[in-house]
Amino acid sequence: MDKIRKQEEIKSDQHKVGLLPLITLVMGSAIGAGIFNLMKDMAQGAAPGAVLISWVIVGIGIIALALCFQNLSDALPELDAGIFQYAEDGFGKFAGFASAWGYWLSIWLGNVAFATMLMSSLGFFFPIFKGGQNIPSIIGASILLWFLNYLVTKGVENATVINFVVTICKLVPIFVFIVCGLFAFKLSTFTYDFWGTVSQRFEWADVFYQVKSTMLITIFVFVGIEGASILSSRAKYKKDVGRATIIGVLSVLVIYMLVTILSFGILPQGELAHLPEPGMAYVLEAIVGYWGAAFICGGLSISILGVWLSWTILPAETGLIAAKQGLFPQLFGKVNKHGAPTYSLAITSGCIQLFMFTFLITDEAYQFMASMVSSVVIITYLFVTLYQVKFSYQQPKSKNRTIQLAIGVVATLFQIWAFFSAGLKYNLLLTLLFVPGIFVYIQAQKEQGRSKNIFSNFEKMVVGLIFVGSVAALYFLVTDVIAI
pTM of the model: 0.84
- pLDDT for 8 equals 38
Tell me the C-alpha distance between 406 and 246, whole Å.
17
Looking at CATH, the fold of the domain delimited by 17-426 is given as: Amino acid/polyamine transporter I (1.20.1740)
- pLDDT for 1 equals 43
- pLDDT for 148 equals 85
- pLDDT for 9 equals 38
- pLDDT for 115 equals 87
- pLDDT for 464 equals 94
- pLDDT for 163 equals 61
pLDDT tens string for the chain (484 positions)? 444 343 433 344 445 667 777 777 677 667 777 888 899 999 998 999 999 999 999 989 988 998 888 788 778 877 766 678 899 889 988 999 999 999 899 888 888 888 888 888 888 888 888 877 888 989 999 998 998 888 888 765 555 566 666 666 678 889 999 999 999 999 999 998 899 888 888 888 899 999 998 888 888 888 767 655 555 556 677 677 767 777 888 888 899 999 999 999 999 999 999 888 788 999 999 999 999 999 988 888 877 777 777 778 778 888 888 888 888 998 888 888 877 788 888 899 899 998 888 777 777 778 788 888 888 989 999 999 999 999 999 999 898 899 999 999 999 999 999 888 888 888 888 999 999 999 999 999 998 888 788 888 999 999 999 999 999 999 888 887 776 6
- pLDDT for 128 equals 87
